[in-house]
């Protein structure tokens, strides 16, 4: 069964890139949004886990493309114009995934 938090998680994966595309890449926002949406393929690394999906598992630091080293590479990608959209999409993805980790650990925003 799909929970409300899972629906919110999936919606954020689409809506945050849309907001970034609309705010910062207005002239080509559709292209920017599609490129950032394509970075959701980073979740293919979940196929390497056993079990593939576990509701209470934090992806950050667990899956190969969700490691801190990978996140550092995504940050560098976001600073270089030719890879900026891919890097931003990946960073947004990691931020959304990290927000789940924070929620699971009991961290609450004031």
Walk along the chain (110 residues) and give the pLDDT tens digit of each residue: 778 888 998 999 999 999 999 999 999 999 999 999 999 999 999 999 988 888 788 999 999 999 999 999 999 999 999 999 999 999 999 999 999 888 877 765 44
Residue 67 is assigned to a structural domain of this protein: yes
Are 30 and 36 within 8 A, CB to CB?
no
Residue 55 is assigned to a structural domain of this protein: yes
Residue 110 is assigned to a structural domain of this protein: no
Q: Tell me how many domains the chain contains.
A: 1
Domain of residue 44: give its range.
4-104
Strand, coil or helix: what is 45? helix
Residue 109 is assigned to a structural domain of this protein: no
Using alpha carbons, list the distances in angstroms from residue 75 to 8, 11, 56, 87, 97: 25, 23, 26, 6, 16
Residue 9 is assigned to a structural domain of this protein: yes
Residue 62 is assigned to a structural domain of this protein: yes
Residue 11 is assigned to a structural domain of this protein: yes
């Amino acid at each position: 069964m799909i929970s409300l938090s899972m629906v919110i998680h999936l919606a954020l994966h689409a809506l945050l890139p849309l907001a970034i595309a609309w705010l910062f890449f207005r002239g080509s926002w559709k292209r920017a949004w599609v490129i950032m949406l394509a970075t959701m393929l980073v979740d293919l690394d979940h196929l390497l886990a056993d079990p593939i999906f576990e509701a209470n598992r934090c992806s950050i630091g667990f899956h190969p493309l969700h490691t801190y080293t990978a996140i550092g590479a995504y940050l560098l990608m976001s600073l270089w114009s030719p890879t900026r959209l891919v890097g931003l999409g990946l960073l947004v993805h990691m931020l959304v995934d990290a927000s789940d980790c924070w929620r699971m650990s009991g961290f609450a925003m004031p």
